[in-house]
Amino acid sequence: MLGVQLGFVRHVLVALAVVLILVLLARSARRAPDVAPGGTIIIRYSWVTRGLALVFLLIFVAGAIVAATRGMKAPAWFGIPLMSALVGFSAFVALETQRFRVELGADEIRVWSGWRRSRVIPWAAVTKYEYSDWNRWYVLHYGERGKVRVSSYAVGADSVGHEAQRRGIRSPEGRI
């Protein structure tokens, strides 16, 4: 009977930890963006998001190492792809949160990402602004097919919409 109660308590503690992590993420994303001395708005992921991404990467890598060296209880055809997917996804999230940064300046937008070379886009080249409910991205369109996507989980992401609206850039939905 005691084993059942301890198991229940462990599940409750895990659930509370997950809720705490989600609250921290939500609160950290809603704070005001950093503003450089020249008035440039800096959008990036919070220290909470970046730290959690690294923690999860380390947990999954450690889990993969333990599973590989001590043997898995699950069959190999199940465990190896699962651990590979978890490590790969957490590496993707860690790279995205560590390297992503957008600066909204007076004349241009500067974008850094782990996936592409850095870009400098003049505000005059931006043709359209939209928000994707599905992906939770703010999207600025420029040139023929260029896009700058800013996750709503980044600190100050809503500044993209406010700045686009202030500059008279059209939004098909007519909203920020």
Task: Give pLDDT tens digits for 33-54.
Answer: 778 888 899 999 988 888 888 8
Tokens in use for 39? Answer: 């008035």
Task: Give the distance, in angstroms, between the CA of residue 169 and the centroid of all CA atoms in the same chain.
Answer: 25
What is the reported pLDDT for 12?
A: 76
Q: How far apart are CA 12 and CA 105, in angstroms?
A: 46
pTM: 0.75
Cα 74 to Cα 35, 69, 80, 88, 162, distances in angstroms: 50, 14, 9, 19, 50
Among 28-32, 100-104, 115-119, 149-153, which stretch is predicted with the lowest mean pLDDT? 28-32
Q: How close are the terminal C-alpha atoms of the chain, in Å?
A: 55
User: Does position 122 have pLDDT exceeding 70, yes or no?
Assistant: yes
Mean pLDDT value across the chain: 82
pLDDT tier for residue 111 given thresholds of 50, 70 and 90: very high
